[in-house]
Each structure stands twice: as structure tokens, then as C-alpha cells.
Structure 1
Amino acid sequence: MDDALVVGGTRFIGRHLVAELLAHEYDVTLFNRGNHDNPFAEDGRVDHVEGDRTDDDALEAAARTVDPDAVFDCVAYHPADVRAATRVFEDCEAYVYVSSGAAYGREDIPKREDETPLASCTAEQATNDSRDSYGNRKAEGDRVVFAAADDGVNAMAVRPPIVYGPHDYTERFAFWVDRVRRFDRIVVPGDGTNVWHRVYVEDVASALRVVAERGEPGEAYNVGDRRIVTLERMIERLADTLETDVEVVYAGSRELAAGGIELEDYPLYRDHPHIVSTAKLAELGWESTPLSTAIDRTVAEHLESGRDGRGQGPCRDDENRVLAALDYADR
């Protein structure tokens, strides 16, 4: 494969995917509306076709203009988006849909592609934009991929859990970097053993390329850090990178109530463990970045970016009330 079309491609996963494809000597074209700054605008190696991916005519025009070998769909948020794309790009060598670990419908540990059932999706969920229906919509998109493969389309899906890394506009990871950088005492929800599988963004990018090149049509592949760490261990690793010491203070629902905080207010906290198996992807020859390297790169970009993530979790004043209550109780 030589020519790649990236639907999206300027913000986070797509941005790293473009870099990955360029590093492997693909000719790359972006297809998007141009609503966000294009980091490749001055890179003569990256072409751009402007259009709305929800407009079938625009999608078909992009297909005619680029005639891609591989299509990477980074911004398909509704099943109808996937249905249109698998039709328009049915003759491509690979169509890879960015799905999500949220597509699973049962809390298996770990969640496996060929064993754990997908979430259901009603007609109403398939067309709305609510956060609550995100996993349902992604699951239905997977089912569209499978149906397209049954009809002869070389369509595949990649399912990442929480993605972190440079240029992460969600700022969920940035919240914890900021806390560790600024404070000696860090409030950690629960007992620190919470596990929500994460994946470094460059590894998602390499997984998308590997699946396009070596994956099987009609298959889905989980992608996640091969080394899974608890929330507490992640904070310790951030402290190592930032060359600082922090005291971790655990707080459950009762303790957090002193500050009007709930457990779920914290980013990257999940009551039930969420772990996906990555063995199937590893069998294709994919490898993940060492955790220490991934966190070092993420922190370095965070410090340059000015993002602080403070809007993604409880405010420090509320946490100070929690800390004061815990200190009083320890007297």
C-alpha cells in the first residue's frame, strides 16, 4: 500500500497516525472540514481535501480525488458514518475504523475481541451525540464493519481504551500531571488500586497501520499499553518523571463528601476494572512503547503546551477541605 487517506488527522490520534504513516513512506492525504489548525499545513508531503465526512457526496469526491489504498477513519462517531465509508471505500485494500474499548457490553477481565459481547445500540442511541451512548454507537460501528467484510470489503476495527500522550486535547491525563507537578499531597480516589486500561497515542497510530497492512477483514483488534498500571502507580511514575516527591492521600466516597466531591469526578477513575487483551494485535507483530518512555514524552509535551487539565477534575479548594477533614480525624 502506498496511498493513505486519513479521515480527520489534525488533532490527536489522527495527528500521530499521519506521522506514523509518513515515517513508513506512505503518501498521505487528510480529509476533514478544516475547522482545526492543521499541523501539516506546511509539510509538502501531506495533501488535504476539505469536506464534511457526514456528507456522502463529499466523501465520494474525496475517494475519486485520492483513490487511496488504505483509509483510516478517525472521526466516525455514528454507525451511519461507518456505513457510508465502507460503501464509498469498498474497493480499497484496507478500511480501518477507530472504534473504542467502550464498545464492549460486559465487564469481563480482560475484555477479548472474540469472546466479550459488544454493547447493544438502539435506533435512538445510533443517532444521538450523548456521552452515555458513545460506547453503544462505537459497538454498532463495529457491527457495520463486520457486515461490510461479509460483503467483501477489507474492513477492520481497532479498539483503544483511554488514550493519552502528546497533543491530548481532552486533558484527562494532564489533570494528574498538573496535580503532581504543583502539590506535595495528592488526593487519590478510592484506595489507589483502580485500573482503567490506557494506551499511548503513538501505539494507537502504529496499531492502525499494522492492522491495515496485516489485519484480517472483519476482525477487531484491541490496542492498549502492554504494561497496565494502577492509578497510584501512574502517579508515582509521574512523580519520577517530574523529579518530585508526593504524598498520596486515599479518599473514598465518605471522605470526599467533605469537599462535595464524588469518586467519578476524577479523570481516569473507574470503579470496575477495565482491561482489554492485546494478544491478538501483538500476534500481528505490533509492539507497545515502554511505559516509562510514553510517560516521559507525554509529560515533556504537557509542560510545553500550557494545558493544565484543571477543569477535568475537582478544584483544589474542594480537595483542601477533604485533606483538612482527614487531618482532623487523625488527631
Structure 2
Amino acid sequence: MRLLLLGGTEFVGRAVAEEALARDWQVTVFNRGRHEPPAGVAALRGDRSAAGGLAALEGAGAGEWDVVVDTWTGAPSAVRDAARLLAGRAGHYVYVSSRSVYAYPAPAGLDEDGPLVEASPDAGEVEYAEAKRGGELAAEAAFGDRALLARAGLILGPYENVGRLPWWLTRIAGAARGGTLGGRVLAPGPRDLPLQYIDVRDLAAWLLDAAERGLGGPYNLVSPPGHATFGELLEACVAATGSDAELCWTDPETVLAAGVEPWTELPIWLPPGELYDTVHQSDVSRALAAGLRCRPVAETVAATWEWLCALGGRAPHRPDRPPVGLDPEREARVLAASAAGAP
């Protein structure tokens, strides 16, 4: 198979490139050249947000491909221009979208037929949800039923450049060295809170399988609800890092009363409620029926820690995303409040 990857050097794109190479596919990566692509790919350079930025892809001489995978997050008009350019020279267009395209709040159990945000394929820079939905519309306009819309949820695993799982791993690993908190780590409850996410490698494998089979249309791409719990995730972090950290499970009310922000200050975690249902309670039966398989959480955590250690413990971070994590002083106050309220 001949794959054109629009992106391909960070997180999802990197995982797709490595999965395709492992299958002996011919991989061409088109990007701005800010990061080195994996060894073994053909590289084309261009900035699709700039005038003339697609020049390297223009003309039949630039190549033809069986599959295009597009990880673009910015202006939908960039997806529109690329998809139009490639419509006659590519068999299938896979657009890595997001479950954020659903109108908020998305109730528990929502499938791919749920209501969507209003968006335009011709839009410039817009908010994330509108950008992803506009990208979907652009892909469909050019490729019709040859467009696969992968509505990913929370993505974890090696190469993560948002910082969610790397923050927990670094925090828990650091607790083994003592410090002001004495090895205690704030663990927001409930411990058995079900999570819904996808390992980036499982996402990449499913995308290529689905494209090879010619699947089109939208698919929610996350694990089944409850594939892991928050307790299992953090305990896997303890095991992977070899830490002697003490996970101090604290009820959501105490955490929220301290003004701690879920998702950002305590990455991945959301207390039960409207936003939790939106993120962690999606219907994924369509993707499961189409072959989605999700590895155990311990494997995701261990592989992410191995990758992080290879980088010296410092993960890359996307400049368009705010940093995540809880300040140690604030964490200490929450732990103290939790201890004071304990029976």
C-alpha cells in the first residue's frame, strides 16, 4: 500500500507512520520540516497554511497513493485544499477527527448519529470543535464515501505531546524520591471511575486496517467505556516507574472545593457529571464491530514510560496547548484537607 501522511512526525502521525512502515507500506510524509520523520519514509516539504504551501503535492508527477491520512487540527480550509488536490490521485482519505465534533453536552451512550456542531469546510482559524467538524466536511466533499472520519477521544501512549499521561508518570516517579509531600500523591476519586481512551498505536493500527478495507463515514475511536479505571491507570504508573508513591484517594468534592481544575490540573481525570459523560461514555460499537482492539492499560503506561525515559524524562509539548499539572503547594493543601476530613 502507498500511504501519504499529512503530518507524520508527532504523536498520532508518528504512530501511523511507524505502523505503516512495520507493514512494509510505502510511506510519504508531507510536513513543514520542523521535526524529523521516521527513517524509511519519503519526505515532502510544505506549509499547508501558507499560500502555495501544497506545491510539493501538485501535479500527477508528485505521486499517487492508495491512502491519505490527515491529522490536521487547524483551519478547515487547509483540509479542503489538500483533499481537493488529492481527490483524483488517492483512493481513500482518512481524516483524524475528534469526538469534540458532537454538540455539547454529549449524553452517555451517544453514537455517531448524534447532533454535531455547526461548521464550515471553508473556515479559517476557528475553535477546536468547529475546526475538526469543518475538516470532516472538507474531506467528505472531496472524497465522498471514500472519506473515513476517525472521531478519536482521549489519546494516550508514546509520543504524547499534550502531557497528560507523561505528567502522571513524572509526578509518581518523583514521589519515590521523597520531597515535601513525603511520597504521597493526590489521587482524585473515585478509584473505580471508568475511563475511555485509546492507545495511539491501537488507533494507528485500526486506521490503516479500516482504510485498507475501504471503510468510510464516521467512527468513534476510543476504547469501550470502563476498559480501565482511573485507579488501574495510576497503579500502572506506580508499577511502571518502580515508585514507592502512596496514592492518596480523595473524593471529588474535596478536590473541587479546593478549586482544582479537572482535566488540566489533574490530567485525564473528570468527576462524574456532564463533562465526564461526554468524554468517557461514548458508544463505540461501530468501531468494535469494524475490528477495533484495545490493549491493556498497563501496556500503554509502560510503553509511555519507556519512551519518556529515552527522552531523559522530558516529554515534548505542543505550543498550541497549555501546560497541564498541579502545583505541588496546591496539591499539599488538598492532601491536608483530605486528611483533616478523614474519619
TM-score (norm 2): 0.82
Contact 2:185 2:247 in 1 (8 A): yes
For residues 83-120 of structure 1, give each alpha carbon's deviation from its aligned partner in whole angstroms, at most 9, with x where no partner exists: 2222111121111111012112242223312x222222
Whole-Å separation in 1 of the counterparts to 2:329 and 2:238: 22
Whole-Å separation in 1 of the counterparts to 2:262 and 2:205: 33
Letter in 2 for 1:322: V
Query: What pairs up with 1:147-158 in 2 under 5 angstroms?
Result: 147-150=141-144, 154-158=146-150
2:88 counterpart of 1:88: no
Whole-Å separation in 2 of the counterparts to 1:95 and 1:248: 46
Contact 1:13 1:201 in 2 (8 A): yes
Task: Flag the 1:203–1:325 CA change in 2: closer, same or farther, 3 A.
Answer: same
Letter in 2 for 1:81: A
2:124 counterpart of 1:135: no
2:157 counterpart of 1:165: yes
2:101 counterpart of 1:103: yes
What is the Cα deviation at residue 134 of structure 1? 0.8
State the percentage of identical aligned residues.
Answer: 28
Query: What pairs up with 1:1-331 in 2 under 5 angstroms?
Result: 2-36=1-35, 38-40=36-38, 43=39, 45-55=40-50, 57-59=52-54, 61-64=56-59, 65-91=62-88, 92-105=90-103, 106-113=105-112, 115-121=113-119, 126-129=123-126, 133-150=127-144, 154-183=146-175, 184-217=183-216, 219-226=217-224, 228-245=227-244, 246-255=246-255, 257-258=257-258, 261-264=260-263, 265-271=265-271, 272-273=276-277, 274=279, 275-305=281-311, 306-307=313-314, 311-330=323-342
For residues 303-331 of structure 1, give each alpha carbon's deviation from its aligned partner in whole angstroms, at most 9, with x where no partner exists: 33212699511111211122223334448
Aligned residues: 317
* Structure 2: runs of 5 or more not aligned: 176-182
Give the RMSD, CA atoms, in angstroms. 2.8
Classify the secondary structure of the residue corresponding to 1:320: helix
For residues 120-142 of structure 1, give each alpha carbon's deviation from its aligned partner in whole angstroms, at most 9, with x where no partner exists: 23799x4335xxx2122212322
Contact 2:91 2:146 in 1 (8 A): yes
Whole-Å separation in 2 of the counterparts to 1:123 and 1:39: 28
Contact 1:252 1:263 in 2 (8 A): no
Contact 2:44 2:56 in 1 (8 A): no
What is the Cα deviation at residue 191 of structure 1? 3.1
What is the Cα deviation at residue 196 of structure 1? 4.8
Whole-Å separation in 2 of the counterparts to 1:20 and 1:63: 26
Contact 1:90 1:154 in 2 (8 A): no
Task: Flag the 1:295–1:326 CA change in 2: closer, same or farther, 3 A.
Answer: closer
Task: Flag the 1:47–1:263 CA change in 2: closer, same or farther, 3 A.
Answer: closer
Classify the secondary structure of the residue corresponding to 2:30: strand
Classify the secondary structure of the residue corresponding to 1:312: coil
Q: Deviating runs (4+, > 6 A) in structure 1? A: none
Contact 1:194 1:270 in 2 (8 A): no
* Structure 1: runs of 5 or more not aligned: none
